[in-house]
């Protein structure tokens, strides 16, 4: 390759636009950078030629001199290129290529949206079923009103950092190229506060505790999430606030449990109630109601109470309450009770216990 032909070094035509030359340089600088080819002298030399060519062609006047007089017309001195290989323009373009790796440039102060916040809210089983209004306290950080978020005492202003001259970054040489790092004197802000605000002590932000009433809709369950737009963290420098997410945690109930929109309640009854039938009082979310137990009810039987369950959070329609019958075996029998049960057992036939009869008939068929 003719090292004097800068167009060939960059791989572009003589009629290439400034943008095409810049793109070609950016691509080649990334490809041949010495940091990617440690110890490869040929790659390092070619990298210098790439920079030399771009310095000559990036400026219209220098490019015109080169086109007219060749390499001699683009030599060092006024109007010529710099053969340092790490000119200011190289730093700008190389910064674009590797900005993510090295942290990029300082963000200029401007409005910033507040953070989204999460609040875990514990509610009772009944509050989840019917909905409720809950008052919560949300600690947030807001711009200090005394200094309007600047961090400087009223009547004063932050001053430009003398170390980075307001850039927020400082450059230093690392091997063959320059690296930018956040300025330690101003923590990358580009300004220093000589007279800090008494309220926020120079931070520009203060903690606040706001009270908020949350309307919990009927039918929510553990893990249900409510989004309250604009109720999150306050924005910085007059930026919009974030959102608040309320995450529900429903406390367990001593006698009820939930299954979708149905409410489940296990109710124990006596042997006599199950055998003879009875009318008993059972609890519901709306209060106690009468329930008829049919004669011969077996343990585990489910009796439904329509529309006594939990409202659907989507439709508002209530589920049912499922009464699960649990037959309780009597304990601590006195002498007379034992005598009666023994007499009952003696006069009972298989017809009074059809489930038991069916079970042992199957057992007999298996083992015969």
pLDDT one-digit tens code per residue, 56-115:
888 777 777 777 656 655 554 433 333 333 443 444 444 444 443 444 444 445 678 888
Helices (H), 103-202: 125-130
In this predicted structure, what is the pLDDT of residue 348?
A: 79
Distance CA 204, CA 226 (A): 31
Of the candidates 320, 209, 204, the one whose C-alpha atom is nearest the C-alpha of residue 261 is 320
In this predicted structure, what is the pLDDT of residue 105?
A: 43
In this predicted structure, what is the pLDDT of residue 85?
A: 39
In this predicted structure, what is the pLDDT of residue 102?
A: 41
Q: How far is CA 197 from the centre of its chain?
A: 33
In this predicted structure, what is the pLDDT of residue 234?
A: 82
Q: Which residues of the chain have pLDDT under 70?
A: 1-4, 35, 38, 68-110, 173-178, 350-351, 368
Q: Give the pair of three-digit tokens for residue 252.
A: 């367990």
In the block, residue with structure tokens 């006698």: 255
Of the candidates 256, 232, 257, 252, the one whose C-alpha atom is nearest the C-alpha of residue 243 is 232
- H/E stretch holding 266 reads strand 262-269
Domains and CATH numbers, the chain: 6-102 (1.10.287.110), 117-158+193-250 (2.60.260.20), 256-367 (2.60.260.20)
Residues 6+ apart with CB under 8 A from 274: 293, 296, 297, 298, 299, 325, 327
pLDDT tens-digit series, residues 200-234: 888 888 888 788 999 999 999 999 999 999 888 88
The DSSP output letter for 116 is P
In this predicted structure, what is the pLDDT of residue 327?
A: 93
In this predicted structure, what is the pLDDT of residue 92?
A: 46
* Mean of the per-residue pLDDT values of the chain: 81
Distance CA 180, CA 368 (A): 90
Q: CA neighbours within 13 Å on the CB side: how many for 32?
A: 20
Kindly report the pTM of this predicted structure: 0.56
Helices 41-57, 60-69: axis angle to 10 degrees equals: 100
In this predicted structure, what is the pLDDT of residue 3?
A: 47
13: three-class secondary structure by DSSP: coil
């Amino acid at each position: 390759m003719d090292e004097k032909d800068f167009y060939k070094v960059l791989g572009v035509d003589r009629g290439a636009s400034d943008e095409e030359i810049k793109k070609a340089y950016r691509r080649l600088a990334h490809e041949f950078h010495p940091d990617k080819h440690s110890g490869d002298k040929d790659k390092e030399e070619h990298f210098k030629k790439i920079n030399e060519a771009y310095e000559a062609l990036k400026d219209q006047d220098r490019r015109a001199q080169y086109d007219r007089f060749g390499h001699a017309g683009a030599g060092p001195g006024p109007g010529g290129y710099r053969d340092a290989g790490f000119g200011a323009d190289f730093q700008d373009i190389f910064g674009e290529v590797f900005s993510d790796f090295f942290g990029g440039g300082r963000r200029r102060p401007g409005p910033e949206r507040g953070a989204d916040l999460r609040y875990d809210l514990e509610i009772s089983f009944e509050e989840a079923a019917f909905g409720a209004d809950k008052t919560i306290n949300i600690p947030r950080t807001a711009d200090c009103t005394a200094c309007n978020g600047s961090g400087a005492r009223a009547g004063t202003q932050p001053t430009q950092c003398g170390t980075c001259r307001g850039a927020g970054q400082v450059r230093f040489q690392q091997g063959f190229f320059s690296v930018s790092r956040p300025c330690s004197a101003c923590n990358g802000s580009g300004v220093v506060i000589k007279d800090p605000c008494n309220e926020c002590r120079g931070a520009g932000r203060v903690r606040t505790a706001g009270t908020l009433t949350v309307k919990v809709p009927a039918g929510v369950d553990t893990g249900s999430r409510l989004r309250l737009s604009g109720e999150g963290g306050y924005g910085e420098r007059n930026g919009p606030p974030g959102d608040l997410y309320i995450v529900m945690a429903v406390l367990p109930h001593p006698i009820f449990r939930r299954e979708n929109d149905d409410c489940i309640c296990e109710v124990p009854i006596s042997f006599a109630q199950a055998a003879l039938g009875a009318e008993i009082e059972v609890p519901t979310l709306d209060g106690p109601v009468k329930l008829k137990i049919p004669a011969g009810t077996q343990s585990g039987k489910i009796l439904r109470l329509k529309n006594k369950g939990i409202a659907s959070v989507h439709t508002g329609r209530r589920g049912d309450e499922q009464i699960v019958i649990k037959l309780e075996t009597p304990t601590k029998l006195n002498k007379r009770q034992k005598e009666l049960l023994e007499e009952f057992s003696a006069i009972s036939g298989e017809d009074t216990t059809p489930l038991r009869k069916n079970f042992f008939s199957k057992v007999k068929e298996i083992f015969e």
